[in-house]
Amino acid sequence: MNSLKNSFASFIAVIIFSCVYYSCSSSSSDIKNETTVPLHILQEANLFIVSKTGAEFFHNYIAVDNVKTKHSPPYYEIVYNLYIPEKPYVNTSITFTVDEAGKVVKSRDIIGIPNCNKNPSLCEWQVDKDGAIAIAKAEGLEKGIKDWKIAFIWNPERQIYVWRIITVIREFQGDFGYRGSGKEMLIDPVNGEVLSLTVWQIN
């Protein structure tokens, strides 16, 4: 019974949040290029995220981005910002598509929603950028000929966020265009585990 009450309370909270946020964002006439998402669609989209992250995480760290959201009838590609102020490296986007009833189109990409409800540790990111660099160096990742490209990104294969570090070992531009090679390391930002180390190459 308590579980049912908690679920209902979360549902009501999401509806109220949607109404307040939607009315505030849509009243800003000076913001251009926004996509107006019907309220019932936004509510369904919010609830989809909450089903994965939980209501508290959603309310604290996730907000719809009306500028990046696009409407291509009969679909809405809805974009949310995921940002954690106390962990500023967590500053990324959630993207998925819904139809005009607000139903998620699962045949299209669903990007960036961590399943905190199923596994809370998936949202307990502890390794920041400096930590990821230190791990890569400790693992012997070559410096290369350019600064490392480092990003906190969504990994669709693993369905988690990772630190991706890309090195450039060699590169040149010739008559046949760009050629280069290097390595890519993926690091788990929860526990610092090196998930993979692969070679990339463009011939």
Verify that 39 and 10 share a domain, yes or no: yes
Q: What does the pLDDT look like over 84-134, one tens digit per residue? A: 999 999 999 999 999 999 999 999 999 999 999 999 999 999 999 999 999
Verify that 33 and 67 share a domain, yes or no: yes
Task: Name the residue range of residue 32's domain.
Answer: 2-123
Is residue 200 within 8 Å of 168, Cβ to Cβ? no
Is residue 99 within 8 Å of 112, Cβ to Cβ? no
| pLDDT of the residue at 178 | 87
CB contact burial 22-48 (16+ within 10 A = b; e otherwise): beebeeeeeeeeebebeeebbbbbbbb
86: number of Cβ within 10 Å? 6
Q: What is the 3-state secondary structure (H, E, C) of the chain?
A: CHHHHHHHHHHHHHHHHHHHHHHHHHCCCCCCCCCCCCHHHHHHHHHHHHHHHCHHHHHHHEEECCCCCEEECCEEEEEEEEEECCEEEEEEEEEEEEECCCCECCCCCCECCCCCCCCHHHHCCCCCHHHHHHHHHHCCCCCCCCCCEEEEEEECCCCEEEEEEECCCEEEEECCEEEEEEEEEEECCCCCCEEEEEEEEEC
pLDDT at 176 over 70: yes
Last residue of a domain, one of 76, 95, 123: 123
Verify that 44 and 107 share a domain, yes or no: yes
Q: Which residue has the tokens 């265009």?
A: 177
pLDDT at 173 over 70: yes
Last residue of a domain, one of 104, 123, 142: 123
Residues of the chain above pLDDT 90, percent:
77
> Model-level pTM?
0.82
Last residue of a domain, one of 123, 140, 168: 123
Structure tokens at 189: 């930002």
- Alpha carbon separation from 68 to 45, 76, 81, 151 (Å, rounded): 15, 11, 10, 20
What type of residue sits at position 151? A
Is residue 11 within 8 Å of 51, Cβ to Cβ? no
Verify that 84 and 155 share a domain, yes or no: no
Verify that 16 and 89 share a domain, yes or no: yes
Pairing of strands 87-99, 75-84: antiparallel
Q: What is the mean pLDDT of residues 143-169?
A: 97
| pLDDT of the residue at 12 | 42
| pLDDT of the residue at 1 | 45
Nearest CA-CA partner of 10 in 70, 51, 62: 51
Q: What does the pLDDT look like over 33-77, one tens digit per residue? A: 788 999 999 999 999 999 999 999 999 999 999 999 999 999 999
Average pLDDT over the chain, rounded to an integer: 88
Verify that 142 and 166 share a domain, yes or no: yes
Verify that 164 and 106 share a domain, yes or no: no
| pLDDT of the residue at 34 | 86
Verify that 117 and 133 share a domain, yes or no: no
Structure tokens at 99: 């139809």
